[in-house]
Amino acid sequence: MLMTCQIDQSGKIEQTNRDTVIALSNDIQVAIILPRKTKRIIKKIFREQGKSKIFIYLTFSALIFLLLKLFPPKKKVIIDKEYPGYEEFIKLNIINNFQKMKITQLPVLEFGLVGKSSRAHDYANKIAKKIKKANKIVKLEEVLKLILVKKRSRAT
C-alpha cells in the first residue's frame, strides 16, 4: 500500500492581500510561497483577458505542480479540497503540466479533506506566520509559463 503525503494551502489564491503557501507534508515537509504582489499581477492579466475567475484554479494547479516538481513524491498525494467542484479541472491541469515538462513519473493524485490537525496544515500555517521558511518563493514567470493561454489571432 502506498504511503500518503498531504497538501494544504494557507492564504487562498483569491486573497490577494496575503501570500499563498502550498505545503506538502508527512515524512517530509516542503513548501512554496506565491507572493501577494505576484498574485495581483496574475489576476490583472486574467482580468484583461476576461477570464478573472479561472485564474484561481489555473494558479492553484500550477502551484501544486511546482511543489510536486520541487519534491516529487513516490506516494499517493492527497490535495485538500480547497475548491470543491473544480478538482477534476485542477487535477487535469497538474497532469498536463507534468506532460508539458516531459516528466513521466506522476504521483497518484487524490482530493480529500486535510484537517486542521494535519502536519501539512500546521506547516503551511507556520510558514504563513513566518515561523518557518519556505523552500522556494515562486516567481511570476514560472507561473505564467504554466497557465497563460496564448490568444489566437482572428481574421477580421
Q: Residue 1 pLDDT more than 90?
A: no
Q: What is the pLDDT of residue 61?
A: 97
What are the residues whose beta carbons fall under 8 Å from the beta carbon of 69, sequence distance 6 or more?
Answer: 101, 103
Domain 4-147 in this protein, CATH class: alpha beta
Render pLDDT for 95-152 as a digit per residue (tens, 0 to 9).
999 998 888 888 899 999 998 889 999 999 999 999 999 999 999 999 999 987 554 4
C-alpha–C-alpha distance, residues 96 and 54, integer Å: 16
Buried b (16+ CB within 10 A) or exposed e, 31-50: bbbbeeebbeebbebbeeee
**How far is residue 59 CA from its own chain's centroid?**
6
Render pLDDT for 5-64 as a digit per residue (tens, 0 to 9).
999 999 999 999 999 999 999 878 999 999 999 999 999 999 998 888 899 999 999 999
List, in sequence order, the alpha helices (H) in the chain.
36-48, 54-70, 87-100, 119-128, 140-147
Q: What is the pLDDT of residue 51?
A: 85
Q: Residue 155 pLDDT more than 70?
A: no
Q: What is the pLDDT of residue 152?
A: 43
- 3-state helix, strand, coil split of the chain in percent (to 5) is 40, 20, 40
C-alpha–C-alpha distance, residues 24 and 78, integer Å: 9
What are the residues whose beta carbons fall under 8 Å from the beta carbon of 55, sequence distance 6 or more?
Answer: 13, 42, 43, 45, 46, 47, 147
Side chain identity at 83, as an amino acid letter? Y
Q: Is 43 helix (H, G, I), strand (E, B) or coil?
A: helix
